Each structure stands twice: as structure tokens, then as C-alpha cells.
Structure 1
Amino acid sequence: MYKVVRARLRALVCGVWAARRDSGMVTSEYAMGIVAAVAFAVVLYKVVTSGQVSAELQAIVKRALDARM
């Protein structure tokens, strides 16, 4: 019985330690996430500052400001 309890306890402790070692992101994953976020921000900036989109956004803001209640 002692051996069974000891084996189960070891499995439990080793399992917890393995989960702790694998938790969270490593530096390379953070770097890839930042690169992806910056790339998305650049694409979004280019789209929003393009001529047609910019004109549409200005028209929407102008209509909102000129609206009467």
C-alpha cells in the first residue's frame, strides 16, 4: 500500500511541476504576437488613411455634427 500511495503522490507532484513549467508564453511567442499586432496596426492605419476611407469617415463625422435633434 505504501508503494501505491508513494507512486500516486509522485505522479501528482510531477504532473503539477510539469504544468507549471509549461504555463505561460515564452519570449519568442511574445515576439511573434507583437509582430503580428504591429503588422495588423500598419494595415489598419493604411486602410483608414487611404483617400476613399478617409473621405467617408469625414462625411460620417460631418453628418453626425450637423445633425439636429
Structure 2
Amino acid sequence: MYQVVRARLCALVCGMRAARRDAGMVTSEYAVGIVAAVAFAVVLYKVVTSGAVGAELQGIVQEALNARM
């Protein structure tokens, strides 16, 4: 029992050390993340500004403005 607990504790501590060594992102990872975020923003912009979605959003806003409490 003691050996199992000791092995798990050692694995946890060793894993934490490895995580500390590789805690940050390098410049290339930031660049890939930014490119992915921009691509997602472009796709989202295209979807929101499309005719069908725009009309639906306008209808929702009109309905909300005309609603009575």
C-alpha cells in the first residue's frame, strides 16, 4: 500500500515539475492562436452579416422593442 501511494505521489510531483518547465507558450503557438482567432472572427462576421441571419436578428430586436410588459 505504501509503495502505491509513494508511486502516485512521485508521479504527481514529477508531472508538476514537467508542467512548470513547459508552462508558457512560445511565439509560434501565439501566432497560430491569433490566426485561428482571426479566422473564427471572420467566419462569425460572415454568418452574422448574411441576409438570413441579419433578418432574423432584426426580427428578434423588433419583437423585443414592441413587446409590452
Normalised TM-score (structure 2) = 0.70
Which residue matches 1:46?
46
Which residue matches 1:36?
36
Structure 2 unpaired stretches of 5+: 1-16
Corresponding pairs, count: 55
Task: Give the C-alpha shift of residue 22 in structure 1.
Answer: 2.2
Which residue matches 2:59?
59
Looking at structure 1, the residues matched to 19 and 67 of structure 2 have their Cα atoms a distance apart, in angstroms, of 58
Task: Give the C-alpha shift of residue 20 in structure 1.
Answer: 4.4
Name the amino acid aligned to 1:40.
F
Distance change (3 Å), C-alpha of 1:19 and 1:53: closer
Structure 1 unpaired stretches of 5+: 1-15
Name the amino acid aligned to 1:22.
D
Normalised TM-score (structure 1) = 0.70
- Aligned-residue Cα RMSD (Å) equals 1.9
User: In terms of Rg, which structure is larger?
Assistant: 1
Name the amino acid aligned to 1:41.
A
Q: What pairs up with 1:5-20 in 2 under 5 angstroms? A: 16=17, 20=20
Which residue matches 2:24?
24
